[in-house]
Amino acid sequence: MKLEKKLIAKVGIGLFLGLVSFIILIATILFFVSPIEIEGFSMSPHYNDGEIWIMKKHSTLKNGEVVVYENNNILLIKRIIASEGDSIKIEDGIVYVNDIALEEEYLSAEQSTLLPIDGLELIEEGIYKQVPENSYFLMGDNRENSFDSRFISVGFIKKEDIKGVIWKKLK
């Protein structure tokens, strides 16, 4: 009888610990990380259509990081080029933030940054524009195929629309 009670107690403890572990896993997924599937080619060649990445939900945002943001109920990924208070300009295909030309190793060698055609651009060629408070200027790595902050219809992305930072590749 004592052996049965000990066995039942051990099974009960095992089930309890398993349940606690499961709850911690679910809480981690709900509050700290989330999988995200890349759709499209605006971040090629480093982030490709169909790949699954882990997004960290609560992270300090820094220039150069790839973030997930929401636009019209659609999740998109782009790179932070400039943050609130930064001044940004694009001139002759080169991006400048606070008077410093960015070294964008993530772009392919033959790629430069062009502005949209007249009337569609958020910033003008060679003219600095300051990023507003609680906002970011985002661009895709595949600049020729990215609809991003360069376009007036996208513009600066508000901090509350950013859902997290791309962290690790799953698949």
* 113 and 73 both lie in a single domain: yes
* 108 and 133 both lie in a single domain: yes
* 8 and 54 both lie in a single domain: no
Total of domains in the chain: 2
* 11 and 88 both lie in a single domain: no
- Per-residue pLDDT reduced to its tens digit, 55-90: 998 778 999 999 999 988 889 999 999 999 999 999
* 45 and 4 both lie in a single domain: no
* 17 and 75 both lie in a single domain: no
Q: Would you say the pTM of this structure is higher than 0.85?
A: no
* 151 and 139 both lie in a single domain: yes
Q: What pLDDT, on a 0 to 100 scale, did the predictor assign at position 20?
A: 74
Which residue range is the domain that position 1 belongs to? 1-31
* 83 and 157 both lie in a single domain: yes
* 66 and 128 both lie in a single domain: yes
What's the CATH number where 50 sits?
Answer: 2.10.109.10
- Per-residue pLDDT reduced to its tens digit, 32-53: 888 899 999 999 989 999 999 9
80 vs 10, 84, 87, 109, 116, CA distance in Å?
51, 11, 13, 20, 19
CB neighbour class for 83 (10 Å; exposed up to 12, middle 13-18, buried from 19): middle
